[in-house]
Structure 1
Amino acid sequence: MNSDGRSLREELVTTAVAMLESETQQLLSLRAVARRCGVSHNAPYHYFSDKDELLAAVASVGFRMLAQIIREEGVTVPGLSRAYIRFAQGSPEMVRLMFGPCDFIAQGALEFEEASRDAFSLLLEGTRAAYPVVDEHELIRRAVELWSLLHGFVSLLQGNALSHVPRDAMPTPESMSALFASRLGHSVPSSETSED
């Protein structure tokens, strides 16, 4: 345990998360994280068999961060939209890690699966609140459609594909929610679109 009560494993993961804010995942290595933590280059191997296992732990933190932001924004369709866009804009490298090629998942499957399922359950909950009269398969399909719409938008933002679009012409989380609702032939209930 360190002076703040964290285990070395937690410190390594926290450090890797912080490093991901300024570096790409390709530059992350067990050795670089160890150096930043001030421990021997072999110390991380007590907790992670390789870089992929560390990346799985980091991606798990990303899903927990996303879930926290969803809870802060509200588990509604507009809240989900705001949360996803806010998270992606604030943590672009984390999003690339979480949703990019996932060679690392097998290394930390349990932790990764639990964290990603928790975030997805919030997506289902928000979708169910807006469209309560659907069976489970339809609910999952609608939630994945919403996620796909949001992820496509943030991918365009991250890739600078929309740099030529005037700022005042850019979609908002609310307009994305309305688009999603209209695709389903609904409107988002008015309580869903009000700002706090």
Structure 2
Amino acid sequence: MTMQTRDLVLIALFAAIIAALGLVPAIPLAFIPAPITAQTLGVMLAGVVLGGKRGGLAGALFLLLVAIGLPILPGGRGGLSVFFGATGGFLLSWPVGAFVSGLVAERFAVRGLGAVPQTLGFFLAATVGGVGVVYLIGVPFLAVVAGMGLPKAFLGSLAFIPGDLLKAAIAALAGRAVMVGYPLMGRRTA
């Protein structure tokens, strides 16, 4: 499996989009040590627009940039220490979430599929990967690191669901627009 230059550019572009969304200030919540951020929208977009492989690699590249110390998380944070904090599990879940979103979205990246079924399919993809997978990894990590127990971490995380569903809807609409105008998933590497 060889990556073409075009694939590398798209992976880097979506890592940059995730980073740019880090410029939106985080909204802290008093009852849970995880803030509301815009960057999960970038994770969903990477999967829905690029597909599984490239979306997951965009998430992984972003985390590599964070790990080497680039201040691209909200509040200008970066470095290895962010992976050991309460939100570290959410961060580590992003490549997996983008990959799963992409795998599901690929099923709906079919020319000739109507606008509504394709958009709903992309919404499902963003929700499964960008919400389901991210929470499945992030919430238990949060519970352990913050010492708050799984039930409390889970209940506290429910406050994020409406915003995350809004992000999934935005990702679905963007994915549909890209699919109509310039389908990137139809041109993926093997």
Higher strand share: 2
Pick the TM interval, shorter chain. Answer: 0.3 to 0.5
Larger gyration radius, structure 1 or structure 2: 1
**TM-score, length-normalised on structure 1?**
0.37
**TM-score, length-normalised on structure 2?**
0.38
Q: Which gives a bigger RCO, structure 1 or 2 (Cα 8 Å, sep 6+)?
A: 2
